[in-house]
């Protein structure tokens, strides 16, 4: 791909930016064509309709290197509009490619859209999944791994191999049936199973004495799980793009939408071992097992499954607090992670977001500060770009809980580029919530019981909280995050618990700068899809 003419013109003016930008010429381009279809699979022992990407369930694994440019043509052969979002990919200056309904028109049936984005300055285990309707319940998800560039040293020895564990709850119902339940005002039932890579019997082979990277992601709809391996310890190395202090764990809690990477050394007698994942904080415990096979093993798995931790949010909270940034390790660029002293930057704005589960017109909905989000037919990003009135307004939601009666709305918070904000997720419900922010990673600086107050700030970890893109909020508790708003665009902040997202627990952050500049935000892509009130506009 050649550089566009405008870039050279701008380069003549902005020498510094030019250097940065032309370096991109070295970054590889990777081309993909993905066709999305219906198919069948039998993950629970009977045939079900699933969504396939290039014939695969789960979808193909994307293995990228930091700063790779991805050109991915998505062809939709479903009977419904479809989009993929790249969970944790920051889409720097480029919310145009985020793949959620506030930024992109969905790809109509029998049509296609080519995503163009860069995996800029990121290393780690990520995922992608369908952001539309309940498609994610049918398997439209996959692994997205970003490996470090050869010039970057990472704080662990190169592993002898890597294994992907996409783990999630699963239903015997297809995605349309689940959607109908939600549309008619019901909640989802308890899941029917827990799957590892779309199966109940997967197997992973490694050589005795070698060390493997286990990439673990929760791609389920609503249930947290605990992950463990019979007789083996796990060394945590990376969480959603942060290199962390390398603590050793017997088991790890992973909440919906989250990912973690561990190293496991096959240092046990040659035999096969159970890999176990079990649901957390549920009345009925669903268990998924896989097999870790030593290539020199003659003995199949045996013995009791390794026991999980106590069914206790305090245990889980303690573990969350033990995840620390390794301040001296490199991130995706060769500078120490702790060189940015996040804990001492003045906060320009605080948002307190309280989730609730109101009935509106007799139907179950989910809300943030009393507003239950509904997707307008025109993506917010396009409405903003074309100045189309009547799609959203910037004062439709309060920045602290209003206590007003619940309403439908299109919630957008106005923030400025380079704000440094604090968001408190106040969970007044009695089950665990998980919140995800697109376009960013953030510091989860505090987790506490009951109601957050200004005094709660005294408990914040201002020194070595990790950065991540998805944070859990324990029942009747709060979680506080700090975010450096250095990425202009329209960004989705949502419950990662999918029925809550679908029924209104989401909103957008408009990170804005009144002076348009290509140094801050890319132009609308030339192949942009137009829909709603944007139909007929000229890109």
Residues in contact with ligand NAG by the rule CB under 6 A: 73, 112-114, 155, 245-246, 281, 283, 285, 311, 326, 328-329, 527, 529
Nearer to ligand NAG, 370 or 477 (CB): 477
Q: Computed over its alpha carbons, how large is the radius of gyration of the chain?
A: 22
CA distance 18 to 5: 13
357 vs 483 by CB, closer to ligand NAG: 357
> Smallest distance, Å, CB 340 to ligand NAG?
16
**Residue 185, Cβ density class (10 Å: 0-12 exposed, 13-18 middle, ≥19 buried):** middle
Verify cis geometry, omega within 30 degrees of 0, for the bond prior to 91. no
Residue 304: CB minimum distance to ligand NAG, A: 17
Q: What is the distance of C-alpha 187 from the center of its chain?
A: 23
Q: Is the Cβ–Cβ distance between 493 and 437 less than 8 Å?
A: yes
**Shortest Cβ distance from residue 4 to ligand NAG (Å)?**
16
**Helix (H) or strand (E) run with residue 505 in it:** none
Q: How far apart are CA 391 and CA 377, in angstroms?
A: 8
Which lies closer to ligand NAG via its Cβ, residue 71 or residue 518? 71
Whole-angstrom Cα distance, residue 445 to residue 52? 38
* CA–CA distance, 298 with 438 (Å, rounded to integer): 46
User: CA 331 → CA 22, 124, 239, 306, 316, distances in Å?
Assistant: 22, 10, 12, 34, 26
Residue 163 to residue 263: CA distance in whole angstroms: 10
CB of 113 to ligand NAG, least distance (A): 5
Place of tokens 């140094």: 519
- To which residue do tokens 């860069």 refer? 118
Q: Which is nearer to ligand NAG, 431 or 460 (CB)?
A: 431
Per-residue tokens: 503: 């029924």
CB 184, min distance to ligand NAG, A: 26
Minimum CB distance to ligand NAG smaller for 266 or for 329: 329
Q: Which is nearer to ligand NAG, 14 or 245 (by Cβ)?
A: 245
How far is 47 from 50, CA to CA, in rounded Å? Answer: 9
Looking at the Cβ atoms of 104 and 355, the one nearer to ligand NAG is: 104
Q: By C-beta, is 32 or 408 nearer to ligand NAG?
A: 32
C-beta of 329 vs 397, nearer to ligand NAG: 329
Smallest separation (angstroms) from ligand NAG to the CB of 34: 11
Between 128 and 173, whose beta carbon lies closer to ligand NAG?
128
* CB of 26 or CB of 283, closer to ligand NAG: 283
Integer CA distances (angstroms), 343 to 61, 90, 391, 460, in order = 36, 21, 37, 9
Min separation Cβ 251 and ligand NAG, Å: 16
We find the least distance from the C-beta atom of residue 237 to ligand NAG, in angstroms, to be 8
CB–CB of 61/217 below 8 Å? no
The closest of 267, 260, 258 to 231, measured between CA atoms, is: 267
Q: By beta-carbon distance, which residue lies closest to ligand NAG?
A: 155
Beta carbon of residue 114, minimum distance to ligand NAG (angstroms, whole number): 4
- Measured between alpha carbons, how far is 397 from 411 in angstroms, rounded to an integer? 6
Instruction: Pick the closer one to ligand NAG by CB: 360 or 531.
Output: 531
CA distances from 455 to 30, 176, 343, 425, 429 (A): 49, 46, 16, 16, 22
CB of 154 to ligand NAG, least distance (A): 7
What minimum distance in Å lies between the beta carbon of 75 and ligand NAG?
A: 7
Q: Measured from the CB of residue 40, what is the shortest distance to ligand NAG in angstroms?
A: 27
At 143, list the tokens: 């692994």
Please report the sign of the dihedral spanned by the C-alpha atoms of residue 391, residue 394, residue 395, residue 398. Answer: positive
């Amino acid at each position: 791909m050649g550089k566009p003419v405008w870039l050279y013109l701008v380069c003549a003016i902005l020498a510094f930016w030019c250097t940065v930008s032309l370096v991109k010429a070295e970054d590889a381009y990777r081309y993909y064509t993905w066709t999305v279809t219906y198919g069948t699979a039998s993950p629970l022992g009977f045939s079900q309709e699933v969504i396939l990407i290039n014939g695969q369930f789960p979808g193909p694994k994307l293995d990228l290197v930091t700063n790779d440019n991805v050109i991915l043509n998505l062809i939709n052969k479903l009977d419904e509009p479809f989009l993929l979002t790249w969970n944790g990919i920051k889409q720097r200056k480029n919310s145009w490619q985020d793949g959620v309904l506030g930024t992109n028109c969905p790809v109509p049936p029998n049509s296609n859209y080519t995503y163009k984005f860069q995996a800029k300055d990121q290393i780690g285990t990520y995922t992608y999944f369908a952001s539309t309707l309940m498609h994610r319940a049918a398997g439209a998800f996959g692994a997205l791994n970003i490996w470090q560039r050869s010039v970057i040293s990472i704080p662990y020895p190169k592993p002898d191999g890597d294994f992907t564990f996409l783990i999630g709850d699963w239903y015997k119902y297809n995605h349309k049936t689940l959607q109908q339940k939600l549309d008619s005002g019901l909640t989802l039932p308890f899941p029917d199973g827990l799957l590892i890579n779309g199966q109940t019997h997967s197997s992973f082979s490694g050589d005795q004495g070698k060390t493997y990277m286990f990439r673990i992601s929760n791609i389920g709809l609503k249930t947290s799980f605990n992950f463990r391996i019979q007789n083996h310890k796990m060394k945590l190395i990376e969480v959603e793009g942060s290199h962390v202090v390398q603590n050793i764990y017997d088991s790890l809690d992973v909440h919906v939408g989250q990912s973690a990477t561990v190293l496991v050394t096959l240092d046990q007698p040659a035999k096969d071992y159970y890999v176990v994942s079990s649901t957390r904080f549920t009345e009925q415990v669903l268990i998924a097992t896989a097999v870790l096979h030593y290539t020199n093993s003659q003995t199949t798995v045996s013995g009791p499954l390794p026991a999980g931790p106590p069914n206790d949010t305090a245990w889980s909270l303690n573990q969350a607090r033990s995840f620390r940034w390794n301040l001296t390790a490199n991130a995706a660029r060769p500078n120490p992670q702790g060189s940015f002293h996040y804990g001492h930057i003045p906060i320009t704005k605080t948002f307190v977001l309280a989730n609730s589960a109101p009935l509106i017109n007799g139907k179950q909905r989910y809300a943030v500060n009393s507003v239950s989000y509904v997707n307008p037919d025109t993506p917010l990003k396009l409405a903003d770009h074309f100045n189309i009135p009547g799609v959203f307004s910037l004062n439709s939601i309060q920045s602290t809980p209003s206590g007003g009666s619940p309403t439908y709305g299109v919630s957008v918070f106005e923030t400025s580029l380079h704000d440094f904000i604090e968001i408190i997720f106040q969970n007044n419900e009695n089950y665990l919530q998980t919140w995800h922010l697109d376009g960013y990673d953030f510091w989860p600086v505090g987790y506490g019981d009951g109601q957050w107050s200004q005094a709660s700030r005294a408990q914040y970890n201002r020194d070595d909280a990790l950065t991540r893109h998805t944070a859990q909020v324990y029942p009747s508790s709060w979680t506080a995050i700090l975010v450096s708003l250095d990425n202009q665009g329209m960004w989705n902040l949502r419950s990662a618990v999918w029925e809550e997202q679908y029924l209104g627990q989401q909103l957008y952050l408009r990170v804005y700068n009144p002076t348009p500049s290509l140094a801050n935000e890319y132009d609308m892509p030339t192949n942009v899809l137009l829909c709603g009130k944007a139909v007929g506009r000229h890109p």
